[in-house]
Structure 1
Amino acid sequence: MSSHMTDHGPVTGKPVSARDGRAWAKVILAGEHAVVHGAPALVLPFPQLSVTATAQLAGSSRTRRDTFSFTMDGSRRPAPGAAEGGNDAMCALASAFRAAVGVAEEHRVVVEIDCTVPPGRGLGSSAACAQAALGAMAQLFRVELTSRLAFGLVQVAEQVTHGRASGVDAMAVATSTPLLFRAGTARELVPRCEGLLIVADSGTTGHTREAVELLARGFASRSGSREAFVREATDLTEAAERAFTGGRIQDLGTNMNSYHVLLRNAGLSTDAIDAMVRAAVAAGSPGAKITGGGMGGCVIALAHAGQAQEVARALASAGAVRTWSTPLGNVELP
């Protein structure tokens, strides 16, 4: 375990009664895939989709494992891939939390997670669930986590879920501020763009691991292709950040369009996603793109004030099963 997970001594006080943790979705405007190679990513919190978690002590002292259950789409069921006692990522998170803050082994927890962030859509569902569960466990054991420690602990779960995780999701699901993320650090941004961001669910699950492997095979087959991809992604993301903070929604949209082309040319989009992107732009959106790992998931689209309904209808006609929207410059936490 990394050295920054030693912010606390052992937990000696009596645990409190059940406590809640909270987190929310994130949306990447630019920077997907290149961010794991050290390039920047422009990311927004998206609190319209959120996660809450409740943690309490297990009722029996004979319980040997922490347990996790999820409510998704209104049905109580174990997390995907869960074994008895919870899925691997959540169990890894709980173990890392215990080691970091000194929770006694006899204190086993039951964590119930209520998630409205659709999984596999590039919106940070796994990181949001981990962040909410961590917050609930921290409150249960009267621990005040530093942001650095919390980030590291959520990353433990993210590495189990995704293999190689950049950290952008782990940081974004706990912030109320747009960020320019790079190499494990983030700079808070002040957005000045007027307008709305629309998130449209294609209804298909993305495939992050497959997308990463596909991109890696492409890099391996063409000398210099990784450097070219990262360089173009960096230029587009930095330009998008300047437009975002400078109030130039058209320029932001242009850079989002170009980033979508970059991902599409790398094989990370789908015909259905491309159709949604074209529909949004045809309806007047300044820019639209796939968001997240790719090969399915969600499309994001910009809209001028008063234009959001038209863009959302176009996305629905092109295949979106549901849409959500948020002001670009005013993140309101639930």
Structure 2
Amino acid sequence: MELQQIGNGTSYAKIILLGEHSVVYGKPAIALPLKTITANTVISSLPNQDILLESNYFTGNLSSSPKQMLGIKNLITYLVENLNISSGIKIKLKSNLPAERGMGSSAAISISIIRAFHNFVNKPLTKAKLLKLANIAEKITHKNPSGLDAATSSSENPIWMIRDVETTDIPVNMYGYLLISDSGLAGQTSEAIKIVQENLKNNPTQTNELLNNLGNLTFTAKDQLATNNLVGLGKTFKKAHVNLKKLGVSISKLDNLIAIAEENGSLGSKLTGGGRGGCFISLVKTRDEANELANILQANGVTENWIEPLFKEEL
């Protein structure tokens, strides 16, 4: 295999617009790649047989990486063997994605690693193969991944997904901005999943109704995104959060911050991702409004904000 001296790979963070939790039960979800928040991997040759890893989380020989990195370790080991890399390599990971915030951090890092390896050996990579390889790490990290994180982190466009049925790009014709805000609390996805499972067991009729509502709202949002119905999408966000709250996956801090956002210019706000902490999103008309709202939220406990245009912005 012909090796280049350097291999590069990049991927994006992701945000779920609609469909948290309900996507697990056969309903659609819409997710957006956040091109302002990236993960990058750089691979370079070493004169020995070592496989060295450099990251904010761990630096050292791959064989000594902590158990929290087992998914990445297995992915790298597989790629080294599958791509017949016999020389030593240094793998430098740089990610701007916060962990445990519903942004698909582990998937984004995996996607960037896979792309860097294939760039390093100058070998083409299909989208299908990319997602299959990403699943090596995601299965270890998330046990039963839906595939939405990897599909979105590797995409240039918003993703429409019904698990095990379809994953496609969708058109977006919307002139507005998404403000992503970190509540300051780590999301508790596994706890939220258990809550939904318990609710299904103890209150199946009510819980199924909430999941169906979330699925229907996702279909509505798809049409709104395609027709520049910004105000309508804001209302859909509000309704979705009400259902997620009833489902038991929100917390009072998220609810309070969302109320503040909607009192200060947001057309609609909702939690995003697993919930029980993590991030929430707000829909606004202009970048100036997004900046103003971000300052207000930061004064009320939000630890970080990101602004993402829903269209190709000319800067």
Pair in the same fold by TM > 0.5? yes
Q: Structure 1 residue aligned with 2:155, among 175, 182, 186?
A: 175
2:141 paired with 1:153: no
Residue by residue, what CA displacement relative to the aligned partner does 1:41-61 show, whole Å, maximum 9, x if unpaired?
111111111111112345422
Q: Deviations over 1:124-143 (max 9, x none)?
A: 11111111111111111222
Q: Cα deviation per residue 1:28-81 (whole Å; 9 max; x = unaligned)?
A: 1101111122211111111111111112345422x4xx443323xxxxx318xx
Structure 2 partner of 1:316:
298
Residue in 1 that maps onto 2:173: 192
Q: Is the 8 A contact 1:176 1:331 kept in 2?
A: no
Q: Which runs of 5+ in 2 are unaligned?
A: none
Name the CA distance, whole Å, in 1 between partners of 2:132 and 2:207.
Answer: 27
Partner secondary structure for residue 123 of structure 1: coil
Do residues 21 (structure 1) and 9 (structure 2) align? Answer: yes
Which one has a larger percent helix, Structure 1 or Structure 2?
A: 2
3-state DSSP of counterpart to 2:204: coil
The match for 2:204 among 223, 236, 244 is 223
Equivalence map 1:1-334=2 (5 Å): 13-61=1-49, 63=50, 66-71=51-56, 77-78=57-58, 84-85=64-65, 87-98=69-80, 102-104=82-84, 106-107=86-87, 109-184=89-164, 185-305=166-286, 306-330=288-312
Cα RMSD (Å) of the superposition? 2.1
Distance 1:244 1:174 in 2: 21
Q: TM-score, normalised by structure 1?
A: 0.86
Separation of aligned partners in 2, 1:52 and 1:331 = 23
1:46/1:331 contact within 8 Å kept: no
Alpha-carbon distance between aligned partners in 2 of 1:173 and 1:14, rounded to the nearest angstrom: 28
Return 5+ residue gaps in structure 1 as ranges: 1-12, 72-76
The AA in structure 1 aligned to 2:75 is: L
Change (3 A) 1:229 1:67: farther
SS at match of 1:302: strand
Measure how far apart 1:96 and its partner are.
4.0
Indicate the percent of aligned positions where both proteins have the same amino acid: 26
| 8 Å CA contact 1:177, 1:331 repeated in 2 | no
Q: Distance in 2 between matches of 1:174 and 1:331?
A: 20
Change in Cα spacing, 1:123 to 1:228, as seen in structure 2 (3 Å) is same
The structural deviation recorded for 1:226 is 5.0
Number of aligned residue pairs: give it.
308
Retained in 2: the 8 A contact 1:15–1:141?
A: yes
Give the alignment's TM-score, normalised by structure 2: 0.90
Distance in 2 (CA, whole Å) between partners of 1:39 and 1:282 is 31
Give the deviation of 1:170 after TM superposition: 0.3
